């Protein structure tokens, strides 16, 4: 059997990681400015993380959600406290798409007669049935998923949103406060606050997709906390367990749970909870949310000061950064990997996307800037 070939791959086999560095099978070291797509939050192979996950694996790795799992309760308490949402409820699942799927389903249960959803232009919320329908990319949406439930509206232009909400029939609004795939576009406080107010006025649940921009990456625990809003439902994944497949839905107390309403086989299993708790330990003990803010500001300022004619704009918050280029990103990204041994991400046609581990240091930031300065753009 062969792999189903849907990923264009760089010819690099990563076999080891530590902190913000990874190594390939030939022993070549790379600076990781992408964190495995924002997943590695506390750094590769953190010793506390390894210790806690190993300890749990030596006890029990999995049992079903038909029994009490005190690790789930501990995680809910810890996550509520660090995020400022201790009055919310926690539902644990496996991936970002699944978190958004359940968030949208909850909103639909709340408004069973309404079939319409509002989402942002350039949004990406996942690849499962509902999540892909609210993602603004027809190339990844199969005909079966295209049920015409969604209206895509421009970010930071509030009038179309209010107009659609006033028409009625909206069961949910979903928003990335910092878009990832959309190119590190950021919602403004004015837009977000007016949207949140309109959602309250028309009794429409507001879902904040914090899967990429949340969990400390923006320099606050949640990116929407820069905007002074309080969503009804919050989805998280990626950095929640530092690489162990896990996600969660934070749910307002206005939603009353019912047996059988939501469900999952693997979500919130013992090993996943141990990984998530260990991740929170390190985030708190090492001050990684504040580090993301400080080092992120430092890194963005350093990139702006390069003064390259190829860099049109640098934007983002914390350690979620977009570098808009005057050329296709592949002309820079490929030589960064091949010659400078540095991983970055990308968005759109011309944006380098930086999503490094939250433990990135100022020295690491300086190292990246030096590599970026040295790189020579290469056409295919």
Q: What is the pLDDT of residue 378?
A: 84
Question: 322 in helix, strand or coil?
Answer: strand
Q: Which residues contact 347 (CB under 8 A, 6 or more apart)?
A: 180, 181, 182, 183, 184, 322, 329, 353
CB 317 within 8 A of CB 218: yes
Domain boundaries, the chain: 14-45+287-374, 48-285
**For the structural domain made of 48-285, what CATH number should be given?**
3.40.640.10
Tell me, what's the pLDDT at 379? 79
Numbers of helices and strands, H then E, in the chain: 11, 15
- Spatial distance between the Cα atoms of 3 and 232, rounded to a whole number of angstroms: 40
Q: How many CB atoms lie within 10 A of CB 121?
A: 13
Assess contact for 205 and 110: CB atoms under 8 A.
yes
**From first to last of its 380 residues, what are the pLDDT tens digits of the chain?**
999 999 999 999 999 999 999 999 999 999 999 999 999 999 999 999 999 999 999 999 999 999 999 999 999 999 999 999 999 999 999 999 999 999 999 999 999 999 999 999 999 999 999 999 999 999 999 999 889 999 999 999 999 999 999 999 999 999 999 999 999 999 999 999 999 999 999 999 999 999 999 999 999 999 999 999 999 999 999 999 999 999 999 999 999 999 999 999 999 999 999 999 999 999 999 999 999 999 999 999 999 999 888 999 999 999 999 999 999 999 999 999 999 999 999 999 999 999 999 999 999 999 999 999 999 888 76
Q: Is-contact 206 199, C-beta < 8 A?
A: yes
Listed in sequence order, the residues at least 6 apart from 339 whose beta carbon sits closer than 8 Å to its beta carbon are 374, 375, 376
Query: What CATH code would you report for 14-45+287-374?
Result: 3.90.1150.10
H-helix or E-strand containing 363? Answer: helix 362-374
């Amino acid at each position: 059997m062969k792999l189903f070939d849907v990923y264009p791959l760089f010819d690099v086999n990563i076999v080891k990681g530590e902190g913000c560095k990874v190594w390939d099978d030939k022993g070549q070291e790379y600076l990781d400015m992408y964190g495995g797509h924002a997943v590695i939050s506390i750094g590769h192979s953190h010793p506390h993380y390894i210790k806690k996950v190993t300890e749990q694996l030596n006890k029990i790795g999995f049992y079903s959600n038909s029994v009490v799992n005190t690790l789930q309760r501990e995680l809910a308490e810890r996550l509520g406290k660090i995020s400022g949402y201790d009055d919310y409820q926690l539902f644990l699942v496996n991936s970002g798409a699944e978190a958004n799927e359940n968030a949208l389903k909850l909103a639909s249960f709340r408004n069973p007669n309404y079939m319409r959803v509002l989402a942002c232009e350039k949004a990406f919320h996942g690849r499962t049935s509902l999540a892909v329908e609210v993602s603004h990319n027809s190339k990844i949406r199969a005909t079966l998923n295209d049920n015409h439930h969604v209206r895509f509206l421009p970010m930071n232009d509030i009038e179309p949103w209010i107009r659609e909400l006033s028409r009625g029939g909206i069961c949910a609004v979903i928003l990335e406060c910092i878009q990832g795939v959309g190119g590190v576009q950021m919602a403004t406080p004015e837009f977000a606050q007016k949207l949140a107010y309109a959602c309250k006025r028309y009794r429409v649940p507001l879902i904040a997709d914090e899967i990429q921009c949340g969990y400390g990456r923006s320099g606050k625990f949640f990116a929407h906390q820069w905007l002074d809003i309080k969503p009804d439902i919050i989805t998280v994944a990626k950095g929640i367990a530092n690489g162990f497949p896990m996600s969660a839905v934070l749910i307002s107390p206005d939603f009353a749970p019912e047996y059988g309403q939501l469900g999952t086989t693997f979500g919130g299993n013992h090993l996943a909870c141990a990984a998530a708790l260990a991740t929170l330990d390190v985030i708190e003990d090492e001050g990684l949310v504040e580090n993301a803010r400080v080092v992120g500001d430092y890194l963005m300022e350093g990139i702006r000061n390069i003064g390259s004619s190829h860099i049109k704009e640098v934007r983002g918050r914390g350690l979620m950064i977009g570098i808009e280029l005057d050329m296709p990103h592949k002309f820079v990204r490929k030589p960064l990997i091949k010659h400078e041994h540095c991983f970055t991400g990308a968005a759109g046609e011309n944006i380098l996307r930086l999503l490094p581990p939250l433990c990135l240091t100022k020295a690491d930031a300086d190292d990246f800037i030096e590599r970026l300065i040295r790189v020579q753009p290469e056409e295919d």
